[in-house]
Chain A
Amino acid sequence: MDPAVVIPPQGLDDLIGILDAQGYEVLGVRETDGALELGPVTAAADLPRGRIEAAEAGSVRLVDGPRAAFFDHTLPMQGLKRVVYPAQERLYTTGPDLVAAEEPVEAPPRAILGVRPCDLAALDTLTAVFEGGPFVDTRFRQRREALLLIAVNCMRPAATCFCASMDSGPRAERGFDLAIDELIQAGRHVLVVTAGSARGQEILEQLPGEPAEEADLRAAREGSRACAEAQQRRLDEGVEGLLKRSYDHPHWAAVAERCLSCANCTLVCPTCFCGTVEDRSSLDGAEAERWRRWDSCFTLDFSYLHGGAVRGETASRYRQWITHKLAHWHDQFGRSGCVGCGRCIGWCPVGIDITAEAAALAASEGRSELSGEEI
Chain B
Amino acid sequence: MKPSGEKPRLAVWKFSSCDGCQLTLLDCEDELLDIAEAVEIAYFLEATRSTRAGPYDVSLVEGSISTPHEVERIREIRRDSALLVTIGACATAGGIQALRNTLDHDALRASVYPSPQFIDALATSTPVADHVAVDFELRGCPIDKRQLLETLAALLKGRKPTIPDYSQCAECKLAGTACVMVAKGVPCLGPVTQGGCGNLCPKVGRGCYGCFGPKEGANTAALAAELAKLGADRRSIRDLFGGFTAGAPAFAEERRRHER
Contacts of B150 in A (CB 8 A): 280
- Residue-wise, chain A 281-295 has the 8 Å CB interface mask toward B (1 for contact) of 111110000000110
- Cβ–Cβ contact A34 & B188, under 8 A: no
Indicate if B216 sits at the interface (CB-CB under 8 A): yes
Determine whether the beta carbon of A301 is less than 8 Å from that of B182: no
Nearest Cβ in chain B — how far from A60, in angstroms?
Answer: 5
Give the residue among B174, B178, B192 with the most A Cβ atoms within 10 A. B178
Find the A residue at minimum CB distance from B152.
Answer: A283
Q: Least Cβ distance of B74 to chain A in Å?
A: 27
A214 CA / B71 CA spacing, docked (Å): 84
Among B31, B159, B166, B179, the residue within 8 A (CB) of A349 is B179
Q: Decide yes or no whether A32 CB sits under 8 A from chain B.
A: yes
Return B83 CB to nearest CB of chain A, in Å: 16
B-side binding surface: helix, strand, loop or mixed? helix
- Give the docked Cα–Cα distance between A109 and B37 (Å): 44
Q: Contacts A59-B182, A259-B219, A281-B157 known; A301 to B167 CB distance under 8 Å?
A: no
Encode contact with A along B176-191: 1 for CB under 8 Å, 0 otherwise.
1011011111001011
Measured CB to CB, the nearest residue on chain B to A77 is B178
Q: A256 to B222: give the CA distance in the assembly, Å.
A: 9
Contact for A301 among B38, B164, B181, B183, CB less than 8 A? B164
Let me know if A260 and B157 touch, CB within 8 A: no
Interface contact A284-B178, CB-CB below 8 Å: no
- Confirm or deny: A101 has a beta carbon within 8 angstroms of a beta carbon on chain B: no
Q: How many residues on chain B are close to A (CB under 8 Å)?
A: 44
- Residues on B with beta carbons closer than 8 Å to the beta carbon of A87: 173-176
By the criterion CB–CB under 8 Å, are B154 and A349 in contact? no
- Residue of A257, A267, A282, A285 touching B222 (CB-CB under 8 A): A257
Contact assessment for B174 and A294 in the assembled complex, using a CB-CB cutoff below 8 Å: yes
Residues of B with C-beta under 8 A to A282: 34, 153
Q: How far is the CB of B156 from chain A (nearest CB, A)?
A: 7
**Which chain A residues border B190 with CB–CB below 8 Å?**
262, 349
* Residue B231 interfacial (CB < 8 Å): no
Closest chain B residue to A294 by CB distance? B174
Residue A4 is within 8 A (CB to CB) of chain B in the complex: no
User: How many angstroms from the CA of A209 to the CA of B71 in the assembled complex?
Assistant: 81
Query: Cβ of B170 and Cβ of A299 under 8 Å apart?
Result: yes
Please give the number of chain A residues whose Cβ is less than 8 angstroms from any Cβ of chain B in the complex: 49
Complex contact B169–A264 (CB within 8 A): yes
Q: In this assembly, does A224 line the interface, its C-beta being within 8 Å of a C-beta of chain B?
A: no
For the A-B complex, the count of residue pairs with Cβ-Cβ distances under 8 Å equals 135
CB distance from B8 to the nearest CB of A (A): 11
A283 touches B173 (CB 8 A): no
Q: Which residues of B contact A313 (CB under 8 A)?
A: 217
What CA separation (Å) do A34 and B172 show in the bound complex?
15
Q: Does A296 have its Cβ within 8 Å of any Cβ on chain B? A: yes
Given contacts A60-B183, A260-B167, A299-B165, contact A37 B178 (CB under 8 A): yes
In B133-173, which residues have CB < 8 Å from any A CB?
A: 149-150, 152-154, 156-157, 159, 162, 164-167, 169-170, 172-173
Task: Return the CB mask of A246-265 against B: 1 if under 8 Å, else 0.
Answer: 00000000001111111110
Residues in chain A near residue B184, CB distance under 8 A: 34, 61
* B165 contact set on A, CB distance < 8 A: 299-301
Given contacts A260-B223, A279-B162, A284-B34, contact A349 B156 (CB under 8 A): no
User: Inside 8 A of B166's CB, which chain A residues have their CB?
Assistant: 263, 296, 299, 301
Given A259-B222, A283-B156, A349-B191, answer yes or no on A35-B170 (Cβ-Cβ < 8 Å): no
| Among candidates A82, A261, A267, A349, residue contacting B188 with C-beta atoms closer than 8 Å | A349
Q: Is A336 an interface residue (CB 8 A)?
A: no
Interface set of A (CB-CB < 8 Å, partner B): 32-35, 37, 58-62, 77-78, 82, 87-88, 256-264, 267-268, 278-285, 293-294, 296, 299-301, 312-314, 346-351
Q: Please give 20 more A-B residue pairs, beta carbons under 8 A apart, in addition to A32-B178, A59-B182.
A: A37-B176, A58-B226, A77-B176, A77-B178, A77-B179, A78-B173, A87-B174, A259-B219, A260-B223, A262-B169, A262-B190, A262-B191, A264-B169, A267-B174, A282-B153, A312-B217, A313-B217, A348-B182, A349-B181, A350-B223
Listed by A's residue number, 23 A-B pairs whose Cβ atoms lie within 8 Å are A32-B178, A59-B185, A60-B183, A61-B183, A77-B179, A87-B175, A88-B174, A259-B219, A261-B167, A268-B173, A278-B162, A280-B153, A282-B34, A282-B153, A283-B31, A283-B156, A284-B37, A285-B153, A299-B166, A313-B217, A349-B191, A349-B226, A350-B223
